[in-house]
Amino acid sequence: MNMYDIIYKKRQGEALGKDEIRFFIEGYTKGSIPDYQASALLMAIYFQKMNTEETYLLTDAMRHSGDVVDLSSIKGVKVDKHSTGGVGDKTTLIVGPLAAACGVPIAKMSGRGLGFTGGTVDKMESIPGFKTTLSEEEFLDLVNRIGISVIGQTGQIAPADKKLYALRDVTATVDNISLITSSVMSKKLAAGSDAIVLDVKCGKGAFVETVEAAEELAHNMVNIGNADGKKTIALITDMDQPLGNAVGNSLEVIEAIETLRGNGPDDITELSLTLAGYMVFCGGKADTPEEGRALVEKALTSGAALEKMKEFVAGQGGDPGVLEDYSLFPQPSYSQEIFSKDEGFVTSIDARRIGLASQHAGAGRERKEDDIDLSAGLLLSKKVGDKVKPGMLLATVFGNDPDRVKKAAEEAYGAFRISAEKPQMRPLIIKVIQ
């Protein structure tokens, strides 16, 4: 068995078997299969796709490429939450403290930036001193003591995915249903939680743009999770425009903190409360999702979730002072404002273009070895449906390279569409799949 034959077989549109998939995953994980051959197979999978059996086999092989975490020492029903990625999606930093404040243990492993999105680990590392690498003992202890810990994906948890995740990022093979399914579910199953809540993004700023593709992805992941004995629920949510107002690492953490203060944008607040409500329901702390929603709303208004965020930050070595003083975050040297030239309503904001603008300002990676400017990004001043006039501020771009900031501002301006008629808004939460 060799990689040439496997690549050729998939290029021809044939289904790969268990031994061939395992050969690829084991070889690439160990380093005997080079990036260029892995890239070729990923591209073949991208164009020829995988059937249901292949997707399951790929997920299973990736899951067993490393350790499978035992969370049995943590009391209670452990609930994991995962988003398929979107522009401005900082919900993990909100729903984690919300659910933990309601007594649901959150033991989560997150990734870095993928494509034009920012990864949760990148965002957390904008908090001075915050450690995203902990030993398994430290990780488990924090969840038992505080109720929440979020760490970077370790080299031992689905290491095949960690390598493939970075490679897909730079080879334009991100938005494939089977590759997304196997990436998400291999980590989720290996990470050891008892239940999983999935946020499947749909729209121009997501890796799947149509509702039909989002439903296919959601069903794939829910079926794999439930077949493994984990209560799995997926919410299909809108990503035609950025989520919230902040796009970029430290900017998104600040917005997450503001949301926990009760001052967040309407869309990020609504989605976070809904997701956290399902997490509380899956964790057995509520009999229905609606009851779970009521509990997390109480945790938000009482300040319990914000207090949990402080404990979470301090527990992982971060400076909890950032929750009071945002100047402790990395600061940009340059900014450029974007103004409207027209009068009317914002009818659309191309989330993908905003994401790429943020990436080009320094907030994302073009190559897997690139460093990220944690202060770079955008703040939107207008969202879809807002009325504007000439000279009104649409957005502000931040960064530490004036040329990149200028280029990003031009890209971001092109993401806005303004017309005379107020647009019809698509629901934020499109469908729930159980």
130: alpha, beta or left, given left = phi > 0 and alpha = psi -120 to 50?
beta
Q: Is 168 known to be catalytic? A: yes
Q: Is 187 known to be catalytic? A: yes
Q: Which of 168, 201, 308, 365 is catalytic?
A: 168
Contact 151, 110 (CB under 8 A): yes
DSSP string, 395-406: EEEEES-HHHHH
Q: Is 219 known to be catalytic? A: no
Residue closest to 109 by CA, chosen among 29, 195, 184: 184
Q: Is 183 known to be catalytic? A: yes
In angstroms, rounded to a whole number, what is the distance separating the alpha carbons of residues 40 and 419? 44
CA of 278: how far to CAs of 79, 284, 295, in Å? 10, 10, 11
H-helix or E-strand spanning residue 41: helix 35-48
Q: Which of 22, 81, 82, 108 is catalytic?
A: 82
CA of 2: how far to CAs of 27, 31, 33, 70, in Å? 10, 14, 10, 34
Q: Is 64 known to be catalytic? A: no
Q: Which of 22, 63, 163, 187 is catalytic?
A: 187
Instruction: For helices 52-63 and 18-30, give the axis angle rounded to 10 degrees.
Output: 40
Rg (CA), the chain: 21
In angstroms, rounded to a whole number, what is the distance separating the alpha carbons of residues 397 and 332? 10
Give me the half-sphere count of Cα atoms (radius 13 Å) on the Cβ side of residue 93.
Answer: 31
The tokens for 162 are 């960690």
Q: Which of 60, 80, 89, 161 is catalytic?
A: 161
Q: Which of 110, 183, 250, 358 is catalytic?
A: 183
| Residues with catalytic roles | 82, 161, 168, 183, 187
